[in-house]
Amino acid sequence: MARWAGVSGPLVPWETPGGLIAAAACKPLPDAPETTIAAIAFDTLQEGPTQGDGSKLQVVALVEHGAVVAAHRSQIEEDATTAVGRYRIDTARYRLSPRVRAFGTVFHSHALGSRCGDANAGSELTLWVREGQ
């Protein structure tokens, strides 16, 4: 996934000096165990954990036999209400139509602001549907 995203450097958790992985989770698809869902937040700017302004590269991918077969990249903009915490992969049966099934990623923010004024809104579920690569 790092190679697909153009990330190079120490692919270890950011608790290790120079580590680039801020958060990660993976899980096989229940109906296709040869396909793994993976979500990783890369700390490419070497910011470390923040409780303010920051930016992390997020990659959500489907991986088969060690190769990325479909993926999406985006930025997580950190502020007072959002700070990279952890991921959880949700493989519940999200049937959007008879032929379309989604999977989910749950992003847990570790920002203090996301728990106080927003009734503990520190977790965000995003549903994903594969469209080509």
CB contact set of 63 (below 8 Å; sequence gap of 6+): 1, 26, 35, 36, 37, 38, 69
Residue 51 is predicted with a pLDDT of 65
Listing DSSP states for 23-44 in one string gives EEEEEEETTEEEEEEEEEEE-T
d(CA 92, CA 67): 24
* pTM of the full structure: 0.86
pLDDT of residue 82: 83
CB within 8 A of 119, min separation 6: which ones?
Answer: none
Confidence (pLDDT) at 115: 53
Q: Is the dihedral of CA 9, 10, 16, 17 positive or negative?
A: negative
Per-residue pLDDT tens, the chain, 133 aa: give them. Answer: 999 999 999 999 988 888 899 999 999 998 899 999 999 999 998 887 776 788 899 999 999 999 999 999 999 988 877 888 899 999 998 999 999 999 999 998 887 764 555 555 578 899 999 988 7
User: Closest by alpha carbon to 111, among 73, 57, 54?
Assistant: 54
